[in-house]
Amino acid sequence: MNTRFLLSLALALTVAPASALTVTGTVQGNVTPESRLGGFAVTPFGQPVQELVSAPLDGGSFRLDIPAAAPPARAQAVLTAQNVSWPGVIDPVQISAAAQAGELKFFVYRDQNGNARHDDNEVLREVSPMVGKSPLFVPWVSVDVTVSANKGYQVALKKGWNAFLVDVGRTVNVRTYPDGTAVLLPVGR
């Protein structure tokens, strides 16, 4: 075998996985020292399963590079019209293809031991990054699929992680989140 080929293959296997998308923003409100923002794969009921990415909040701003890898199996479910509980979705729901789906939700926690990851004894508080009045919604799907629902809801998801801004009013407007667009993270206090 060619030495150059083996070196290239070894390098490719050691490179970290690419980021599916980047979420950057600023914090609105005060956070305690050692606060972190974590992106967690969640169950279909919104319960955190596994932290996929996190960033410190002490400086008042953050950057999360969401990994391209699929969420863990226990955070995935078959996407059906009966279990789509996404922001702005109102029955009837239509799904264009059979798919597995998952979701990433954001939680703030105090990293008490400074290990830069969530531990079971660290309390999670769900937060919703916003662009204007639109919340950021981050779903994952196993194949390309379109989801349609009442009041004009329609979103075309590509295989992997997707990010959308959802405006709910008389109609539902779903816009693709422009990768890297600054969000505002209201944390209270």
Are 166 and 135 within 8 A, CB to CB? yes
Dump pLDDT digits (tens) for 21-38. 999 999 999 888 899 999
Q: Is the peptide bond before 92 cis (omega within 30 degrees of 0)?
A: yes
* Beta-bridge partners for 169: none
Tell me which H or E stretch contains 10.
Answer: helix 3-14
Q: How far apart are CA 111 and CA 108, in angstroms?
A: 9
Name residue 73's amino acid.
A
- Considering only residues 166 and 19, tell me which one the structure prediction assigns the higher pLDDT: 166
Instruction: Say yes or no to pLDDT of 5 above 90.
Output: no
pLDDT of residue 189: 56
Q: What is the mean pLDDT of residues 60-81?
A: 95
| Cβ atoms within 10 Å, residue 88 | 22
Q: What does the pLDDT read at residue 44?
A: 87
- Give me the phi and psi of 34, to 5 degrees please: 70, 15
Q: How far apart are CA 82 and CA 38, in angstroms?
A: 28
105-134 tens-digit pLDDT: 999 999 999 999 999 999 999 999 999 999
- What average pLDDT score do residues 54-61 get? 92
Structure tokens at 47: 């319960």
